[in-house]
Structure 1
Amino acid sequence: MTEQEISKIVFDCALRVHKALGPGLLESAYEECLYYELKKSNLKVEKQKPLPLVYEEVKLDVGYRIDLIIEDKFIVEIKAVETLNEVHLAQLLTYLKLTDCKLGLLINFNVKLLKNGVQRVINGIL
């Protein structure tokens, strides 16, 4: 399955979650519900996956955790904030770089229309 195909499935699942719950909940609630929806789609999904940093051949556990990684090649970073800002984007860009993943979605569920809360990041480019 390609990253593009995964992206569409993730967006559709996120839309279902957002329609059911609306804005205003905690990030963890959206993460659990999106994880559940994605698992129903028969995708390999891992949540809160630890991500070590390798520096000069030393593997460092510095506390990075990927919200959702799908099929070992697509990252979803979930937020429930008033406004996405540069630090949220930087976080996803870092995860993409450290995992060599090509595509990710930054999803803010705290919006009236979900399409306004989604940023697609490809190879470090919005």
Structure 2
Amino acid sequence: MRITKRFLTDLVYQVNGAAIEVHKALGPGLFESVYQKCMIQEFRLRGLHFQSEIRVPVNYKGHTLETALRCDFFIENILVVELKAVEKVLPVHEAQLITYMKLLNSPEGLLINFNTSHIFNEGQKTYVNELYRDLEDE
């Protein structure tokens, strides 16, 4: 399958819709692991191909190293999704997502914080990197 900016836009829309549905049902204040289990169910209901809690390898000087790094979701083998349930998203959370995007060769990533009143306006942020610029529009 050819990955385009349009494909990624549609994928982000579906993931955001899943997050809104989970947040609407549960609201803020729960542990991240609860939201993650519900997101798994939403992704299945929406027919999305995803991997959860995948190990993120590190390529260091030509050697692939197994690490304890785990990505919350890797959707359709192209979109990194990190979930949080925190009072405030910190720069370290953003750095974590950006690093996972780099290590997984993902052009786009989502950071979703469920501990907000309105998840779409306050709890979701999209990130792109240099790989995104190389994608075709259609």
State percent identity of aligned pairs: 38
In structure 1, what residue type is equivalent to 2:124? V
Q: Which runs of 5+ in 1 are unaligned?
A: none
Q: Which has the higher contact order (CA 8 A, sep 6+)?
A: 2
CA distance in 2, matches of 1:32, 1:6: 19
Unaligned runs of 5+ in 2: 133-138
Higher share in strand: 1
From 30, 33, 36, give the equivalent of 1:31.
Answer: 36
Give the 4+ runs in structure 1 shifted more than 2 A. Answer: none
When the two chains are superposed, the root-mean-square deviation of aligned CA atoms in Å is 1.4
Matched residue of 2:57: which SS? Answer: strand
Separation in structure 1 between the aligned mates of residue 40 and residue 73 of structure 2, nearest angstrom: 7
Distance 1:70 1:88 in 2: 19
TM-score (norm 2): 0.87
Pick aligned residue for 1:120 from 108, 119, 126? 126
| Residue equivalent to 2:89 | 84
Matched, 1:105 2:110: yes
TM-score, normalising length from structure 1?
0.95
Tell me which amino acid in the other structure corresponds to 2:128: I
